[in-house]
Structure 1
Amino acid sequence: MSAVSAPPFHPVLIVAGPTASGKSALALDMAEAFDGVVINADSMQVYKELRVLSARPDDGEIARAPHRLYGVLSGREACSAGKWRGMAMAEIAECHATGKLPIITGGTGMYLNALTQGIAPIPDIPADIRDQVTAELEKAGHQAFFDDFAKRDPDTAANLDPSNTQRLIRAAEVLAGTGRGLAAWHRDPMVTPPASMVFKKLCYMPPRDILYDRCNRRFDLMIEQGAIEEVRGLLAENLPESAPVMKAVGVREIAAYLAGEMDLPAAKEKSQRETRRYAKRQLTWFRHQMTDKEIIDTQYSESLADKLRNDIHQFLLTTPK
């Protein structure tokens, strides 16, 4: 009687954390240590127009290890969790096929949940449908548009904030593109990760005072690196205000400075405040989503790096192949 072979298992390392936490540096260190590929899970770093304001890896970092899904989409495209998951799964499969360790890093919670927990099977919505929906909303105004949408899809509308432009457009485009509302799609069975995929999660959350200081210093560095010129170029694209890329922290504030509506110190202070608020929201989300064993809440050091490398090494050794 022949022995039954064990099913294949495919490891995936996730390095999560709030903005400015240092998770990208941690992911890069682990990529060098374990022959890994760093795969982006940040909703703004996917856009090619936001190299500076999204703090994408620089040329030196990219030279140290392969990086994927950074700057791969035009700001005219909407990157839903489903779209990102599809791209990420393709990159993960490529890593496993070539013997590389996929290392997912970012702070966009809905992307990480879509990968690890699953997502409703909503098909991609063509860009022209989104453009049409956006134009209709801008013409009608939020409340009138929402009222009309609520008549056609009351189940989804019951859980929508009429003032949340991005979510309202998403709900309307799904209805227009598929003939079914988001609420109906979410009642369908989830598309879950393959049973062979095994996740190890690290969530890097340094002490809040250190994190906030990093948020403040990061914006100063962005100005030095060309954030103002980057926003000037983005504005020249004449993208709709509802485009996700236009909602990146710093875009509206620098745009207001370029329009003469506020001086640079005021734009800087407002951007730093918004970055800290965003980081605080991320901290809260991760505290609720991650276990205590997955959270790293001390400063990064070589001794901590050694411990993490040992933990990941044990994970890889004990994951069935």
Structure 2
Amino acid sequence: MNHVVLTGDRPTGPLHLGHYFGTLANRVALQDVHPMYVLIADYQVITDRDRPGEIQRNITGLLLDYLAIGLDPAKVTIFQHSAVPELNQLLLPFLSLVSVAELGRNPTVKDEIAHSKQQAVNGLMFTYPVHQAADILFCKGTLVPVGKDQLPHLELTRLVARRFNERYGPVFPLPEAMMGARPLLNGLDGGKMSKSRGNAITLSATEDETAALIRKARTDSERLVTFDETRRPEVANLLTLAALCLGRTPQDLADEIGHGGAATLKRVVTEAVNEFLRPIRRRRSEIGEAEARAVLAAGNERARERAVLTLDEVRGAMAMTAA
């Protein structure tokens, strides 16, 4: 089957190594196999926060990161929510296919509401799984790389597609989840790796910034370095990070470091990460912001052409007259 892949990110800050090993590397591989749309979800930034921050600056940062890691705009359509009004217009008929009770039962929405940065939950937060359905279905997406926590959103997308097809005729495919064994990287402080917690190594970090972050990383007082995720999670996390960058196993690295202690461990991790990021940093420095913006403009145009076709098809199925 020839799949169409839909994936993307919210422009809330710089991408980091957790993103790279969790999803970005997979996108680079998939771009040679299937047509791919990469969404910069700027409208989703305002779902869970009263102050969205520097959205335009973050969009430019995302574009530079995408191009630096090897996403090829000749193969991949990179676009942003707000530049494709026909995509967003699909939200209206899609909302008519979902009950308020079904939206309220979505466990991912419940969790994100609980961690919202808003004083009060807004309507967009409550309905954004349907917005995500529009993101996927506007391009007739059939394959969506997701984590386990996003499966309820994809199931709602399948529900919307199925109900539309039953009510108005066959228009949309039922997208499938693409789940892989993604490596779990915690932050350098032992907590969840996050843009906002300052515990992540961003793809745009300099060598000195990377070294400083790793120097502050949590370890323990045992001299012998071993890979034990249960008893020594902080040490195991650093070993995992270095191993991913080097293409080796954490256990192999631990055996090599041996009694070198935390100082040797951090030196090995710093060298591994900086060596891994060096070509990404070089490519990023070679790409101008004007070039990145031109890539986005071209992607927005292609995405809008696709969205216009889908919206016309939806209007036709619903016996509406296109404007």
Q: TM-score, normalised by structure 2?
A: 0.29
Which structure exhibits the higher relative contact order, with contacts defined as CA atoms closer than 8 Å and separated by 6 or more residues?
1
| Length-normalised TM-score, structure 1 | 0.29
